[in-house]
Amino acid sequence: MTLAMLQTAQAKEPAQPAIAPVEQQVSPEQGGASAEASSATPPQGGGEIVVTARRRTESVQTVPIAISVIGGETLDAQGTYNISRLTQLQPTLQFYSQNPRNTFINIRGIGAPFGLTNDGFEQGVGIYVDDVHYNRIASATLDFVDVQQIETLRGPQGTLYGKNTTAGAINITTQPPSFELEGKGEISFGNLNFKQGKGSISGPLSDTIAARLSVTSTSRRGTIFNSTTNTYIQSQDSLGIRGSVLWRAAPNLDLTFAGDFNLQDPICCAFVNGGYGPTQRLANRQYPALLGYFPGYVAPTTNPYDRVTDVDAALRARNEHGGLSARAVWDVGDRSTITSITAWRYWDWTPANDRDYTGLPIYTKVNNPTVQDQYSQEFGFNHQGAGFDFVTGLFAFLQKIRTSGIQETGPAASKSLLNPTSALSNNPAVLDNVVAINDIRLDNISLAAYGKLNLEVTDRLTLSPGLRVNYDKKQGLYDSVVTGTASNGTRQIVSAVPGSPSYNDPWTAAQRGIQASQFFEPAFSAWNLSYDVNLAYELTDNVNLYATYARAFKTGGINLNGVPADADGAPILAASTIKPEKVDHFEVGIKSQFWGRRATLNVTGFWTEIQDFQANVTNGQFGTVRGYLANAEQVRSRGIEADFSIRPSARINAYLSGAYTDASYTRFVDAPCPPELSGGTVVTGSQQPGAAGVPGALSPANCDVSGQVLPGVSEWAASWGAEGNAPGVLFGETGQLYVGYDASYRSDWSSNPSPSIYTRVDAYSLHNFRVGFRTGRFDSFVWLRNAFDQNYIDLLLAGTGGNTGLIAAQVGDPRTFGGTIKFDF
Residue 83 is predicted with a pLDDT of: 82
Residue extents of the structural domains in the chain: 7-824
Q: For the ranges 41-50, 217-226, 482-491, 779-788, which has the lowest average pLDDT? A: 41-50
Assess whether pLDDT exceeds 80 at residue 46. Answer: no
Confidence grade of residue 97 (pLDDT, cut at 50, 70, 90):
confident
Which residues, 6+ apart, have CB-to-CB distance to 603 below 8 Å?
589, 590, 640, 641, 642, 643
Q: Which of 52, 155, 119 is nearest to 638 (CA)?
A: 155
Output DSSP code: residue 195. Answer: E
Separation in Å, CA 434 to CA 68, 427, 563, 818: 50, 14, 20, 48
Query: Mean per-residue pLDDT for 612-634?
Result: 68
**What is d(CA 663, CA 609) in angstroms, rounded to the nearest whole number?**
10
527 CA to centre of own chain: 27
Segment 347-402, tens digit of pLDDT: 999 999 998 999 999 999 999 999 999 999 999 999 999 999 999 999 999 999 99
Q: Once rounded to an integer, what is the mean pLDDT over residues 309-313? A: 95
Confidence of residue 34 (pLDDT cuts 50, 70, 90): very low
Q: Does the pLDDT value for residue 341 go beyond 90? A: yes
What percent of the chain is predicted at pLDDT more than 90?
A: 71
Asked whether the predicted pLDDT for residue 42 surpasses 60, the reply is no
- What value does the mean pLDDT take over residues 402-424? 92
DSSP E strands: which ranges in 541-674?
543-554, 557-558, 577-578, 581-594, 599-617, 628-649, 652-667
Per-residue pLDDT at 2 exceeds 60: no
Q: What is the pLDDT of residue 622?
A: 38
Dist CA 139 CA 103 (whole Å):
9
The pLDDT of residue 537: 97
Q: Is the pLDDT of residue 7 over 80?
A: no
The whole-number pLDDT of residue 55 equals 62
Residues with Cβ within 8 Å of 326's Cβ and at least 6 positions away in sequence, in order, are: 255, 256, 257, 258, 340, 341, 342, 343
- For residue 162, what pLDDT is reported? 74
Is residue 44 scored above 50 in pLDDT?
Answer: no
87/78 Cα distance (integer angstroms): 12
Average pLDDT over residues 467-471: 95
Tell whether the model's pLDDT for residue 40 goes beyond 60.
no
Which residues are 467's β-sheet partners?
A: 451, 531
pLDDT of residue 115: 66
- Judged against a pLDDT cut of 50, whether residue 138 lies above it is answered with yes
Mean pLDDT of 101-114: 86
Question: What are the pLDDT digits (tens) for 565-579?
Answer: 888 889 989 889 999
More confident residue, 12 or 53: 53
**pLDDT > 80? residue 127:** yes
Region 703-708 average pLDDT: 95
Residue 648 has pLDDT above 80, yes or no: yes
Residue 242: is its pLDDT beyond 50?
Answer: yes
> According to the model, what pLDDT value does residue 471 have?
96
> Per-residue pLDDT for 9 more than 70?
no
Query: Is residue 719 within 8 Å of residue 85, measured between CB atoms?
Result: no
Tens-digit pLDDT profile for residues 243-288 = 999 999 999 999 999 999 999 999 999 999 999 999 999 999 899 9
- DSSP-assigned beta bridge partners for residue 783: 770, 818
pLDDT at 621: 38
CA distance 234 to 270: 7
Instruction: Quick: pLDDT tens for 420-436.
Output: 888 999 999 999 999 99
Q: Mean pLDDT, to the nearest integer, of 155-165?
A: 82
Could you list the beta-strand ranges (E) of 221-306.
224-226, 231-233, 236-250, 253-264, 272-276
> How much is the mean pLDDT over the chain?
89
- H or E stretch at 508: helix 506-512
Q: What is the per-residue pLDDT for 48?
A: 67
pLDDT of amino acid 121: 85
Number of residues assigned to the chain: 825
**When comparing pLDDT for 591 and 685, which is higher?**
591
Q: What is the per-residue pLDDT for 801? A: 60
Residue 795, pLDDT > 80, answer yes
Find which of 79-88, 341-350, 672-681, 728-737 is predicted with most confidence, using mean pLDDT.
Answer: 341-350
pLDDT at 58 over 80: no
Give the pLDDT of residue 43: 34
Q: What is the pLDDT of residue 81?
A: 79
Please give the pLDDT value at position 158.
Answer: 81
Q: What is the pLDDT of residue 122?
A: 86
Spelled out in words, what is the top-level CATH class assigned to the domain 7-824?
mainly beta
Residue 739 has pLDDT above 90, yes or no: yes
As a whole number, mean pLDDT of residues 804-811 equals: 93
- 5 pLDDT band, cuts 50/70/90, is very low
**Averaged pLDDT, 545-551:** 96
Residue 799: C-alpha distances to residues 273, 357, 411, 736 (Å): 9, 7, 19, 52
Confidence of residue 13 (pLDDT cuts 50, 70, 90): very low
Q: Flag whether pLDDT at 72 surpasses 90.
A: no
Instruction: Read off the pLDDT of residues 197-213 as tens digits, 9 standing for 90 and up.
Output: 999 999 999 999 999 99
CB 551, CB 531: distance < 8 Å: yes
